[in-house]
Amino acid sequence: MRRDYTARGALLETDLAADWQTQFEAWFTDATAFGLPEPNAMIVGTATPAGRPSSRTVLLKECDERGFVFFTNYGSRKGRELAVNPYASLVFPWFPMQRQVLVAGAVRRVTRAETAEYFASRPRGSQLGAWASPQSSVLPDRAAVEAGLAAAEERFGEGPVPAPEHWGGFRIEPETVEFWQGRSNRLHDRLRFRRTEEGSWVVERLAP
């Protein structure tokens, strides 16, 4: 199953943008143009205060100089873990392009206004689903999911569906953003933007 990465080029310091956001936007544009399915899919890693990790795939909904935003049920496993251990990692696994982007940093909830604005843009079915599902809870069967949806449909009828208080966004404020480009013989290029204690950014090459 091993593949030798030879076809997608290199990532040298001279290729890198001046800041992580510009570099990420350039690579994200490349991933979209490449035709990757859901290039905004990212693996989010969280952990309990005792250090027990968990990971799952979610969708990036916003990226700017402040960081990377996704939305979820605050009562889900990731929501509960971020409430008590507000740090996370992200991985964008763009394997067909022989690229990855790896992010780590502190996490904060976005404002309720930001949550409400995004929630209003969601399809109605997704809005109802946010009310219907007690995410990560143990359920007896699929019928419980359908019952939750039916209850939400009855509750809101044909009217607007507001964002639940238990649902909203998280923003990962990056402390490191690594750009990984596959190379031959496992000697990959790894260039990392790292925020210093003074708040400036430095670029470091990591050993493959």
Q: Each residue of 99-152: pLDDT tens digit? A: 999 999 999 999 999 999 999 999 999 999 999 999 999 999 999 999 999 999
Asked if the structure places residue 43 within a domain, the reply is yes
Asked if the structure places residue 154 within a domain, the reply is no
Predicted pLDDT of residue 1: 77
- % of the chain surpassing 70 pLDDT: 100
Asked if the structure places residue 141 within a domain, the reply is no
Number of domains the chain is built from: 1
Asked if the structure places residue 172 within a domain, the reply is yes
Its domain, for residue 193, covers 13-122+163-205
pLDDT higher than 90, residue 6? no
| 3: confidence class by pLDDT, cuts 50, 70, 90 | confident
Asked if the structure places residue 5 within a domain, the reply is no
Which whole number is the average pLDDT over 147-164?
97
pLDDT higher than 90, residue 5? no
Active site amino acids: 186
Which two three-digit tokens encode residue 171? Answer: 């923003």
Predicted pLDDT of residue 85: 98
Predicted pLDDT of residue 73: 98
Asked if the structure places residue 70 within a domain, the reply is yes
Q: Kindly report, residue by residue over 78-105, the tens digit of the pLDDT.
A: 999 999 999 999 999 999 999 999 999 9
Predicted pLDDT of residue 7: 65
Asked if the structure places residue 4 within a domain, the reply is no
Predicted pLDDT of residue 49: 95
CATH number of the structural domain spanning residue 201? 2.30.110.10
Q: Kindly report, residue by residue over 55-83, the tens digit of the pLDDT.
A: 999 999 999 999 999 999 999 999 999 99
Give a three-class secondary structure readout of the chain: CCCCCCCCCCCCHHHCCCCHHHHHHHHHHHHHHHCCCCCCEEEEEEECCCCCEEEEEEECCEEECCEEEEEEECCCHHHHHHHHCCEEEEEEEEHHHCEEEEEEEEEEECCHHHHHHHHHHCCHHHHHHHHHCCCCCCCCCHHHHHHHHHHHHHHHCCCCCCCCCCEEEEEEEEEEEEEEECCHHHCCEEEEEEECCCCCEEEEECCC
Asked if the structure places residue 82 within a domain, the reply is yes
| 25: confidence class by pLDDT, cuts 50, 70, 90 | very high
Of residues 93 and 186, the one with the higher pLDDT is 93
